[in-house]
Structure 1
């Protein structure tokens, strides 16, 4: 008589063994040759950390004070400057108007270089800039007023290097970024990088030219990238200059062989923000909060709002309250909502002291 228990056991053992053999025999498809195993492993680990960080949303420092409404606030303000910060200013305005519905703030974002002239002429009270003011811009302001403009740091941004979501590249060094975007190669990379095969990509990618997307010279993002990623060198003529940060990301999203630079707040599902390393011998670091705070990510920066504050004179009440809102818990929640990185409580305290 057939022993069903024994038959079941034999079948179970056979199936289990087959599954184990299938699992052990599964092959991985590597599209990039491992020219530098240590560097590639660093990039992979950095990308994995980014996925983990994205799963755990950045939180605002709970020690930052909540905003408290005050009486007697009304009027108009004008903001002229950074395109990168355009949406951020708009969201701050929406939040501020919940406390003061009759306040009106006009926001115009055509590039950081438009902020200093607007502050000097008095056409704007807020000068958002995604870079620090240049010395000549500070000098022009001081020549007009007899004192320097006041810089208020309001958020942290990681300037990301984006590739299309289908791109298998694991990371780049800054000298490689320079060789991709610059015709002067001051970063010291030995050869020009014009094709994806120059970075070790194989198959369909080998002979494909790299499409470059960037910003125009009025942009603070352009200036920052030129100084820190191109080592103050010159951009290639082939860079497709886009009118805004979102346009750069959109261009790379639609171009499988594209690469571009833009603020981390503009990241979408259509692109990958590459981990970067300062040099060939350094580890790759993803553009996440921790790496920006500790300075490990090489292209992190503060987003600033410049104002005209005369020494030993009180700031206009409306302007002061708006900046206090920006530097409040609620204001920093807006920073996170827009995809940027919030200030720590220690930084907030330093910036608030500049308003007094």
Structure 2
């Protein structure tokens, strides 16, 4: 089973409380270099700023250039934490293992979703996954009967009838791009007319200021002037991208967000990295998750992650 499927099952199991207030330890100092997900860029900054409040002698370098940059930076030792908005690919795991002799440690730190953003005044009620695929892809592997290029093909009338759907999305180094390709395009190919943006914020801003636009980006990036669209897996009812639906896994484009670290088997992480992750998983760190528009992880998953950084499970 893939990591995501296993962890989704764990979220449904009851467990005693694991979230605790963070308590600082003596002797924590040094530099943390983070290379990876743009989706987690703001949250990494929030975590870093608050962590430095506990430890003034800790410095951070945060590079949010896309999830695909995290595995190579960790493998080559140019970063000690790698935020990612998707699972590691087999090739990335193999590259790391061939260099270090073991696989990296993958930690779940938050829950997110990819949302479909449209103009606030667009009357569309929602989209099914086959429709989304027929809009964004050239392959239509999800079963769409025909390409969907105009809003009238989705039942819109009046001033919307002849408007072309202007498409916005992430670039190929982004975990958001990869997950959307997997879940919404059934691993098909994007249309060349999708305007690729360097970050989720720029996707949403482009949708807000472009006539007839539709874009995909991280759920936490909603701004004034746009709305998020409910999504149906197929013929079933639309599911809103609400925090409850995302946390339960009912929303079709839900995902976990990860932090990847280099931890040799049977060994604990170095004190600095271990305390930073312990802070992220604390009550204080998970409140920052919610502040940034994401969803805190369930308590059972918190305990599982704490076990990972202390030693082998």
Q: TM-score normalised by the shorter chain: which range applies?
A: over 0.9
> Matches of 2:26 and 2:217 in 1, distance apart?
40
What's the C-alpha RMSD, in Å, of the aligned pairs?
A: 1.1
Is 1:88 the counterpart of 2:48 in the alignment? no
Is 1:269 the counterpart of 2:224 in the alignment? yes
Aligned residue-pair number: 295
Is 1:208 the counterpart of 2:163 in the alignment? yes
Residue 160 of structure 1 and its aligned partner are, at CA, apart by: 0.3
Residue 166 of structure 1 and its aligned partner are, at CA, apart by: 1.2
CA deviations over 1:273-321 (Å, ceiling 9, x no partner) = 1010000x21111111221222210000000000000011221100000
> Matches of 2:32 and 2:236 in 1, distance apart?
46
> Matches of 1:63 and 1:152 in 2, distance apart?
16
**What stretches of structure 2 of length at least 5 have no aligned partner?**
1-15
Matched residue, 1:14: none
Q: Which runs of 4+ in 1 moved over 2 A?
A: none
Residue 344 of structure 1 and its aligned partner are, at CA, apart by: 1.2
Contact 1:166–1:256 under 8 Å retained in 2:
no
Matched residue, 2:11: none
SS at match of 1:355: helix
Matched residue, 1:164: 119
Contact 2:34–2:62 under 8 Å retained in 1:
yes
> Matches of 1:198 and 1:293 in 2, distance apart?
32
Larger radius of gyration: 1
Contact 2:36–2:82 under 8 Å retained in 1:
yes
Range with bigger deviation, 309-318 or 205-214? 309-318
Residue 347 of structure 1 and its aligned partner are, at CA, apart by: 1.2
Matched residue, 2:179: 224
Matched residue, 1:338: 292
Is 1:327 the counterpart of 2:281 in the alignment? yes
2:206 aligns with one of 251, 263, 266: 251
> Matches of 1:271 and 1:353 in 2, distance apart?
41
Contact 2:18–2:302 under 8 Å retained in 1:
no
Q: TM-score, normalised by structure 1?
A: 0.82
Residue 244 of structure 1 and its aligned partner are, at CA, apart by: 0.7
> Matches of 1:250 and 1:293 in 2, distance apart?
26
Residue 257 of structure 1 and its aligned partner are, at CA, apart by: 0.6
Matched residue, 2:255: 301
Contact 2:247–2:295 under 8 Å retained in 1:
no
Q: TM-score, normalised by structure 2?
A: 0.93
CA deviations over 1:152-199 (Å, ceiling 9, x no partner) = 000000110100111111100000000000010001111110000000
CA deviations over 1:215-250 (Å, ceiling 9, x no partner) = 111111100100110000000010001111100000
> Matches of 1:352 and 1:283 in 2, distance apart?
38
2:144 aligns with one of 189, 205, 209: 189
Contact 2:38–2:174 under 8 Å retained in 1:
yes
CA deviations over 1:127-173 (Å, ceiling 9, x no partner) = 10000000110010001111110000000001101001111111000
> Matches of 1:63 and 1:350 in 2, distance apart?
10
Matched residue, 2:73: 118
Is 1:292 the counterpart of 2:246 in the alignment? yes
**What stretches of structure 1 of length at least 5 have no aligned partner?**
1-60
Residue 63 of structure 1 and its aligned partner are, at CA, apart by: 5.3
SS at match of 2:249: coil
More helix by share: 1
Matched residue, 1:72: 27
